[in-house]
Structure 1
């Protein structure tokens, strides 16, 4: 039975999620974007896609000219949008929220919990789930949202890694300075 779409969301995928494919060992081999599309369809939410060349700007933080052009490009796009924006990576969400606070911007975890989960019947798995909440999500205060969202999906225990505060990636620097990643392990 088809339902009328009650709202739209602008989906802003991260450069990381555009670049890396799902792990071959995973049972569900869909990309994060495909999973989000499936959930939105079930919740009767339409998706507007941000242009592929838009970036949150995290990678340009130390390059002011590029950063300024990127911010202007994003503002030009967002000024024509009258829908909430969701990003699928917390570091990107934090950057866009910081640079474009006048818009309704959500991290994926917050959007799922607030707008999608209430519209779905969720069949919980009977497994324990381990969580690592990255620093950007912590800075945005999303810890509880991520934990609540996880508890909606499992009958098992939610095991939270409280001892690791840093993945060592340092925003975008982990791409160029592997010693950052090594020092965090």
Structure 2
């Protein structure tokens, strides 16, 4: 009923009121970023994107762990000490400002984040894991002489975690959505390869290169998202879930597919156990 009502209001207001869907995330409780425990484990700086800090799973999603908790658990399973930047709740790559036409404010937030990451990574000594591919793409552009070893989920898992984890692929089929930012980062095939490590059946829907959610456009211009994903439901009808690397994209994908889409780490965590090193 809520979905029908919000669709009517969205249309009646000429798009001024955003559209609600059953895939809408639940709000996350404030996150407690504890102090680092200095030990012999290798360090990784975990940059939790704004959307990861505020957007929890949908109410009806079978996965009720937040992306942040799931990511931290996977990194620790692989033997890493997880470090968070200082004042993590106030950090942002600036993408929301840039997309709304505020380039100066966007660059200010980006530089503020880069400085925080430099400090947290001991001047670029430690790798930095960003859990959302659009944020990673924005950060790696125009770094110049700045020494930051930045990774999106796909690149970090294939580079650092594969050798630390034992994979036991599941039988249930999985759908893969390669986000626009993953394509720009050059990690498209790597995402598909990781999915094939995790599941014996991987579905890559043909003809869908962009989900059309476009940040928050899926709320305010839902027709764009609906048109981009008009063939998705038929393509993934036999899949148990879908995976991606952007929380906002996953809202639209879940809405138009009939299955739940999650971050890649959910699948990797489910089918792996720590390898003895």
Shared fold (TM-score, shorter chain, > 0.5): yes
The range that moved more, 16-25 or 79-88, is: 16-25
**1:117 shift after superposition:** 2.2
CA 129–70 in structure 1, closer or farther in 2 if over 3 Å, else same:
same
- 1:48-127 superposed matches below 5 A: 48-50=83-85, 51-61=88-98, 62-80=101-119, 81=121, 82-100=125-143, 102=146, 103-127=148-172
| TM-score, scaled relative to structure 1 | 0.86
Contact 1:5/1:45 (CA < 8 Å) preserved in 2? no
Considering only aligned residues, what root-mean-square deviation do their CA atoms show, in Å?
2.1
CA 175–105 in structure 1, closer or farther in 2 if over 3 Å, else same:
farther
Match of 2:79 among 36, 44, 49: 44
Match of 2:52 among 6, 17, 32: 17
| TM-score, scaled relative to structure 2 | 0.60
2:47 and 2:184 map into 1 onto residues whose CA distance is: 20
The range that moved more, 116-125 or 104-113, is: 116-125
Contact 1:58/1:172 (CA < 8 Å) preserved in 2? no
Deviation string 1:67-113 (CA, Å, 9 cap, x unpaired) is 13212212321232231111111111111111436311100111112
**1:178 shift after superposition:** 4.0
Secondary structure, counterpart of 1:52 in structure 2: helix
Tell me which structure has the larger Cα radius of gyration: 2
Contact 1:91/1:171 (CA < 8 Å) preserved in 2? no
Q: Which runs of 5+ in 2 are unaligned?
A: 1-38, 230-277
Secondary structure, counterpart of 1:138 in structure 2: helix
Q: Which runs of 5+ in 1 are unaligned?
A: none
Match of 2:246 in 1: none
**1:134 shift after superposition:** 1.0
1:134 and 1:178 map into 2 onto residues whose CA distance is: 18
